[in-house]
Amino acid sequence: MILKYDFEKNSALSQNANQPLKARLAGVLDSLDSEFNSLKLDAILLTSKDPFISEYVPLENNPRYGATGFTGSVGDAIYWTKNSSSKSRVSLFVDGRYHLQADQECPLDLVEVVKIQVEPSIEGAVLDRLAQNKDLKIGIDFERTSISTLERFQEMAKSNGHTLVHLEGEKILSALSLPGWKVKRPIFSLPVSATGRSISKTLDSLKKFLTEKSSNYLHVTAATDDAAFLLNARGYHLPHTASFLAYTMFVAQELIVYLPACSAGSPVELESKQKGEYTVTVIENDLSALKKKLSSFSVNEIFFNGGMMNGLLPNLLKEVFPNAKLTQDCKWVIQNRVRKTPEEMASIRKAFVRSSKAIAKTLRWGKSESQKNKVSEVDLSKYLYDSYAAEGAVALSFKTISGAGPNSAIIHYSTPSTQKFFEKGQLALLDSGAYYEEGFCTDCTRGFFVGAENGAKPEAWQKDIYTTTLKGAIQVFMNPVKGSLSGKEVDAMIRSEIKNAGYEYLHGTGHGVGIHVHEEGIRLSTLSIYPQSPYACVSVEPGIYLKDQGGVRIENIALLIPEGENYAYENVVFVGYDWDLIDVSKLSNDEKNYLKNYEAQCKKMGTQLMECPL
């Protein structure tokens, strides 16, 4: 069974599958040098982004993957040309989620893996490395780099005598033997009943905000979830992403939707009644037509979010409106999207009930079946895929993480194997999510112990890391959280349970969840710039990972419901815990009461993993 909006494996990447990775990479790196030899570059920056600054970019369209073989969703690289003095051909920068995975996937004699610790900025690490040199000529694709990032690179370059040269993304892809990405899928309206939003309602609010700042405004965005939000629509144009590949420009009473070459030909099927008094104009892959359309308006200020805007799009707008002011700190979409409507919260709750049933069913099967037969990581992942399909899922919201034994300690392990099995006495980790017809994604992580029915008992370290993680994971669900706390402070509160037990985890505690599985506007992490927000949807996912042994992550999702000056973290995930791994003696009375009630809810819904002993 194939989910409705799943993408079949692209054969273009499998053409050279039998060629060893090292040989393949050596060849494409030579091609990269040859392609840009005349420019006499010292380095080329290779991002994991596309022109929409997307997180989940297909490998076919991912320059960093093409030069390193690393498949993780986050991480950037520097390719050092033959003109440079670097000992490594490529430097790959990854955060704590991907340290082990990068070591496994990359040929380490070609690729230097630069491991960043507890969530410092990958961008900052790349800047620091480049700043260690002077007078470099550096190639960078401005179109795959956000304006905010590009400005920081330009500042670094100026301070160190570097020169930045724009390289066309298509030429980089071609040199790396990557085919790029093109899609033709309908862009369609969601019912107002599923979101509480419509095009006219959203644009009324945006227009009010803009007219208070400028009489002749233009709001532009390159982010695909911004487009989905503004149009109350979905398109599933990328793997694991419900949105669609479009640039949107709002000016006067008109919303212009520009479909570039990668999505040209995708039908735009919007409900007319949702538009109200506004006009929605679709222009496909014709820059001259776009400029002509824009030139019919008078614009004196252009608003956008520099963190999610590619470095070339504003240049195009400045050609049309040379005297317009650029205002790049406009966060209106983020701030309004993060606050879910009652209808959106209802859709999210419904989606998580369905996902909870699929996950619980899979965990029960994996825990039982692995004691009778060989169950591989791929087997468990496939069983979950089919279980999601049975619940009506239309797509996965990210690639399922299915890790056995030592692989459960690889934080974002995304390459499950048919030859790695859930063995007696080991830990298993399952992290997954799905989309349903309402267009909002789910996300949940659970694990289990293999072999209890066959007499195996968890080792002390296994029970310790599971129980400690669980205690951290349920903290914010037990009592209201002060509304004055920032995302950093909530992260610290949850992380302290782990740290006090002598552990640490190299990732954030929580991210926003909505149209995309990682949604801006709320974040619980050491680097969070966001406050808590009413009616936001956020993950809570502490973990403990012991290299070469095993790992635990427990992830629930919360809706933040205002209660006076506090927020109640309403849990929407109902998947029971593995009581083989819980040391009840380490639970407080409050924790026992919470877990007893939680497991009772799971039992009622049919989503328990096993009977609760409390």
Tokens of 2: 């194939």
Distance between CA atoms of residues 109 and 89, nearest Å: 9
pLDDT at 243: 98
Whether the CB-CB separation of 546 and 461 falls below 8 Å is answered with: yes
Strand partners, 540: 556
* DSSP-derived 3-state class of residue 188: strand
The string over 161-190, giving b where at least 16 C-beta atoms fall within 10 Å of a residue's C-beta and e elsewhere, is ebebeebebeebbebbebebbbbebebbbb
pLDDT at 9: 52
- Out of 3.40.640.10, 3.40.50.720, 3.90.230.10, 3.40.50.2300, which CATH number does the structure's domain 342-605 have? 3.90.230.10
H/E stretch holding 125 reads helix 122-131
Does 342-605 match 187-337 at the fold level?
no
pLDDT at 137: 97
Residue 128 identity: D
Class of domain 187-337: alpha beta
Class of domain 11-175: alpha beta
- pTM for the whole thing? 0.95
Domain ranges of the chain: 11-175, 187-337, 342-605
Distance between CA atoms of residues 296 and 216, nearest Å: 12
Sign of CA dihedral 194, 199, 204, 208: positive
User: What residues in the chain have per-residue pLDDT under 70?
Assistant: 8-19, 118-120
Distance between CA atoms of residues 220 and 317, nearest Å: 9
pLDDT at 15: 43
H/E stretch holding 179 reads none
